[in-house]
Amino acid sequence: MSIFSHNIYENIRTRTIVLYQGKILLHPPGKDGSDEAWKLPGGGLEPHESLAECARREVLEETGIPVRVGRIAFLLEWIVPRYTGALEDGDGHGFGLEVYHYAYPEEPLPPTKAEFPGEQPARWILLEEVAALSVWPIELKDLCQHLSQGNEEIGSLSLIGKLSNPWDRTERNAWSSPPHEITIEDAAQ
């Protein structure tokens, strides 16, 4: 992946905050020492895929856990300016966007599995224990602390648009439903 291109499929990624019974699903740090932080499941957008579909697919591929994707928790956007020296000659800037969704496992909950042989599977970590871990992004610590205290999820709705008559209001109102019940299928109707 290169955040230095202008290709949407290289620059936009999803990360998924999978919550279940006071726990969050995280990938442990790499055993080779190349990755020292705990991270959320997620990955790159594929052609003809919504962000919510990407989030669901990536969690299933990386952990073996099927999930219902809910609202967007937050966006993490960065622009790499020329002066950093990270860009090759001719590139004016680099851009990356990660979209963080909340998600909830479907029942019955299967055990987690690793995506590739030799990797450690993702683990369920108590929300209150996240503060003591090295995590990416660092903002995840504050969010998990907030949730562990019984507070409601912070975030916004994720709506999937479709080509239709803009004057037709026969569709369901997304704001009238609890955010954790808005599904890909609801938004596509």
User: What is the pLDDT at residue 181?
Assistant: 44
Radius of gyration of the chain, Cα coordinates, nearest whole angstrom:
18
Q: Which residues contact 3 (CB under 8 A, 6 or more apart)?
A: 10, 11, 78, 80, 94, 95, 96
What fold is seen in the domain 8-188? Nucleoside Triphosphate Pyrophosphohydrolase (3.90.79)
User: What is the pLDDT at residue 156?
Assistant: 81
Whether a cis peptide bond, with omega within 30° of 0, leads into 137 is yes
* Full-model pTM: 0.79
- For residue 141 the two structure tokens come to 């610590």
State how far the Cα of 130 lies from the Cα of 142, in Å rounded to an integer: 9
Q: Where do the domains of the chain lie?
A: 8-188
Q: Which residue has the higher pLDDT, 156 or 89?
A: 156
Residue from 96, 51, 43 nearest 69 by CA = 51
| pLDDT digits 0-9 by tens, 93-143 | 677 889 999 999 999 999 999 999 989 999 999 999 999 999 999 999 999
Give bridge partners of residue 93 from the DSSP assignment.
81
| pLDDT digits 0-9 by tens, 54-85 | 999 999 999 999 999 999 999 998 776 656 66
Q: Read off φ and ψ for residue 102, nearest 5 degrees.
A: -85, 150
